[in-house]
Amino acid sequence: MKMGENNDYIQLPPLKKDTPSDVVAFIWEYMKIPENARERVKDLIKDVHENGVKLDYKAPKLYDVVPKEEIAEFEKVMRETIADIVSEASGVACWVYVQKYVKHKTLDDMLQEWSGARQFILAMDTWFERLMAD
């Protein structure tokens, strides 16, 4: 499938595990360039390469496919962990909302009352301030 200029997504081909991150970043930026300008950019890069600057990137020929079984347990634990985080964050968000808008407590009051959730409270209070300002 050819990438059109109006698409909102980019799908890169498989890249070798040891592809340097700066090369991946360059490829990513290159794919954002309008198709009609890519050839010129590629020609400029080739010119730079021919004048002594070496680029290590080569198109991949082989890549590893990680078997689903190998990551299944990790995936399960990550899903459970993320669900726990979302659940805890939701609980703190509800608590902060009630404290702030129903009981009219200040941020300092909330932090003193539940110091163990300091970072969550700060994040939720900031988020509610922005949300309610709109």
* Side-chain-side CA neighbours of residue 65 (13 Å): 3
Q: Residues 103, 78: contact at Cβ < 8 Å? A: no
Task: Give the domain range for residue 74.
Answer: 68-133
**Among the listed ranges 60-74, 85-99, 117-131, which one has the minimum average pLDDT value?**
60-74
At 9, is the pLDDT very low, low, confident or very high (cuts 50, 70, 90)? confident
What angle in degrees, to the nearest 10, is found between the helix axes of 118-133 and 68-97? Answer: 70
For residues 78 and 34, membership in a common domain is answered with no
Q: What single DSSP character describes residue 100?
A: I
Q: Residues 105, 99: contact at Cβ < 8 Å? A: yes
For residues 33 and 73, membership in a common domain is answered with no
For residues 59 and 82, membership in a common domain is answered with no
Amino acid making up residue 119: Q
Q: What is the pLDDT of residue 12?
A: 77
Tally of domains within the chain: 2
For residues 54 and 82, membership in a common domain is answered with no
Task: Determine the number of helices (DSSP H) and then strands (DSSP E) in the chain.
Answer: 5, 0
Q: Choose among 13, 58, 54, 53: nearest CA to 31.
A: 13
Q: Is the pLDDT of residue 32 over 70?
A: yes
At 52, is the pLDDT very low, low, confident or very high (cuts 50, 70, 90)? low
For residues 1 and 56, membership in a common domain is answered with yes
| Residue 5: strand, helix, or coil | coil
For residues 13 and 53, membership in a common domain is answered with yes
